Structure formats: C-alpha cells, structure tokens
Structure 1
Amino acid sequence: MTRYESTGQMDQSSRRSDTGFSRRALLGIFAATMVTAAPTFSKAAGFLRGGAGDIRRIRMYSGRTGEQLDTIYWIDGQYVPEAVREVTYFMRDWRNNEMIGIDTRTIDILTATHRLVDVNRPYMLLSGFRSPQTNAMLRATSSGVARDSLHMRGQAVDVRLEGRSVSQVASAAERCSAGGVGRYSGSNFVHMDCGAVRQWGR
C-alpha cells in the first residue's frame, strides 16, 4: 500500500492509497497540491549564497533503500517544485511509503550545514518523514523519540556524513541558528530540524 500526504498536514481525509502507483505517478499527484514552507529566515540563508549564481544543491543517499539523490532545488531566488518533490519522495517513510511535504527550511539547513563542513560527500539519510505509526513503533523501543516528533511534520532529518564527525556536523548546523540540532555520537548521526533553536546530546 502506498500512502501520501498532498497538503503537508496530517489529515486523514486527504489520504489516498492504491497498490498500482509508480514513483512518477506519486510525484505527479503530489505536485498538484504541494505547499512548501517559506524560505529560511535565519543565518542559513546567508551561508547558502554562492559565488557562481544563486543555486542550492542537496546530495544524499538512503541507508535504508539504497536510493540516491543529487538535485539542485533552488535557482536564483526560487525553489524548483519538481526538485522539492524529489526530495519529498526520497525522504518518505520507507517502511510504508507514506510521505508528506518536506519543509524547505529543513532542506536549507541541511544544505547550509553541508557547505560549512566543506566535504565532497553526500549525506546518508537515516530518517526523514515518519508516519505516526512508525513514530509510535520507534517510541516503544527507544526513549529518544518524541511523541510529537517534528519528523511527523516533515520538519526533521537524521543524517550521517562520511569524513566528518558528529561533533563537526552538529557544530556546523548550530552555526546556522535555524532550528534544533541533536548530537547522537553513540549512534553516529546528527538530528536537524527547523523548529525552535535548541541543542542537545554530545
């Protein structure tokens, strides 16, 4: 069963499911009503300004599905809708293929952080969007999962970056002053979100 969220809200009435949707069909349906958030208003936007034109690129691969993402999602002051949809699909809940509109501020934080750590490697995505069912399952097995996790709103990601430590990646994310940054050194990943500015972990 494939599920998707067309408006970025957890509204049961907006969900549809089918067993025959291809990836392209899912993205096409999602395109009709997707709403992206306002650009990041923090320091992250400043770190994203480049000398060779105003472009923003994100590169990731999934440790869960094996999929890869390499896309320019912002060009000269505008988000590229199809590229943002690609990010949304890539960051879906891989356990049930449910997806929600990924907040563009979160994408910007990831991109700004990647520029600051100055490494030519893609992120490994561990967790993007989580459906309520997945979040509840993870809460039952871990004390570090919030009941109202921003992952369920498409506003948080957990990533690793080869060649850089948890401390290095987290420190760069904190410089963006754009949201929450969690250090999980024992599990070798960094949490980033576009919620309130805060830090935790070590």
Structure 2
Amino acid sequence: MNRRYFLGMALSAAAAPVAASPFFSRRSAERPRVLSFRHLHTDEWVDVTYRIGDTYQRSALLRLNQFFRDFRTGDVTTMDPQLFDILYDLKLRLGDPDARFDVISAYRSPATNARLRKASRGVAKNSLHLHGQAIDVRFPDLSTRRLRDAAVSLGRGGVGYYRRSDFVHLDTGAVRSWGA
C-alpha cells in the first residue's frame, strides 16, 4: 500500500463515526430556526426563534400571529407554521441565513379580501391568505425573480410571481406556480 492510500483510508475511518454519530445529527436537527421580518405597511419589525428541532415555540407563534394580522382591520388568525418552515428553508436556499423578509401582506380577513376582490381581479375568492396559509414577501436586496426561482425549486406550496408589484406570493397549498 502506498502512503497516500493508507492515510486516506485512516482519515476516512476516523471521520466516519463522527458523521454517523446520533449526537451530531441530533444537534443540527435541534438548531433554532430564526426568522426576521419587517412589515412594510405597519413598519413593525420582528426577529423570532419560532422552532427548535421538531418543536414549534408557542410564544413565538403567538407573536407571529399578531405580527401577520390583517393590517387593515387588526384581525388576527392562527398562521400555518408550515409557512414559516417554507420561509426558513427559502432563506437557506438563497444562502443568507440572516436574511430579513419584507412583508407586503399575510392574513386577510374576509372583509378585507372581499374589498380587495372588488378592486382587483387578481384576488382569489377563497384566498389562502384568509386561512393564514399565505404571505406576500420580498427581500430588500434581492430580485423577486431570484426569490421566485428559489421558492419554486423548493417544490412546496404555491409560488406566485408579481413582477410589476415587486413581490412573491408563498403559500402552503398545493404545489403550483404562476406569473411570468
């Protein structure tokens, strides 16, 4: 055996138990999931650890429910925590774990949704915004096209691209996409 082969085998053998160790996989799975948002209509900011491991943090979810209220009426709903998982995975996909999302819209009360439907034909009658399952966002220093592409690549939920309005719609519904 040559020395390089022997050294490579020895290093591989030494590293294998570390990579397979349940301690290391458990530690990465228990890493806190942090999200940061700025609401463009209320100018409120929030940074929150919403999940640790497989456990959603109740107090954080309550804060997020309040933050994502219908800013027109003040009505609050329970947001789908899977939406936060999509947002978290999206910021990691984009390679920016400290990224802050700018929020255009999240929960919409039935009254707000009806009013918006009268003003625009692009608002769905049974929008997932009504059920706390949708959010419209952008990143301050990233094109919405790149944000849309990254969201589509996740293969989870709906992704709408609104180039003229400069935002991306994300939801926890069926996998689909729209917008040029």
Q: Same-fold call, TM > 0.5?
A: yes
Give the aligned partner of residue 78 of structure 2. Answer: 101
Match of 2:92 in 1: 115
Shift in Å, 1:76: 2.2
Alpha-carbon distance in 2 for matches of 1:50, 1:201:
39
Once the two structures are superposed, what CA deviation does each residue of 1:75-109 show, in whole Å capped at 9, x if it has no partner?
12200000011111100001111011000111111
- Calculate the TM-score normalised by the size of structure 2: 0.81
CA contact (8 A) 1:150 1:156 kept: yes
Query: Residues 15-26 of structure 1 correspond to what in structure 2 (within 5 A)?
Result: none
Task: Report 1 or 2 for greater relative contact order, CA contacts < 8 Å, sequence distance ≥ 6.
Answer: 1
- Tell me what 1:57 maps to: 34
Q: Show the counterpart of 2:171.
A: 193
Q: In proportion to residue count, which structure has more helix?
A: 2
- Taking the TM superposition and a 5 Å limit, the aligned residue runs for 1:152-163 are 152-163=130-141
| Structure 1 segments (4+ residues) deviating >4 Å | 49-53
Q: Give the superposition deviation at 1:114.
A: 1.3
Shift of 1:53: 4.3
Quick check: 1:124–1:161 contact (8 Å CA) kept in 2?
yes
Task: Pick the structure with greater CA Rg.
Answer: 2
Structure-to-structure mapping, 1:167-186, within 5 angstroms: 167-186=145-164
Asked whether the equivalents of residues 117 and 164 of structure 1 are also in contact (C-alpha less than 8 Å), the reply is: no
Paired residues of 2:29 and 2:53 also in contact (CA < 8 A)? no
Distance (Å, rounded) in 2 between the aligned partners of 1:167 and 1:70: 25
Q: Secondary structure at the match of 2:70?
A: coil
Q: Number of residue pairs matched?
A: 154
Compute the displacement of 1:143 (Å): 1.4
The alignment's C-alpha RMSD in Å is 1.6
Please say if residues 155 and 195 of structure 1, whose CA atoms lie closer than 8 Å, have aligned partners that are also in contact: yes
Matched, 1:132 2:110: yes
Quote how far apart the aligned CAs of 1:51 are: 4.5
CA distance in 2, matches of 1:64, 1:50: 38
Runs (5+) with no aligned partner, structure 2: 1-25
Query: Using the alignment, how far apart are the partners of 1:194 and 1:154 within structure 2?
Result: 9
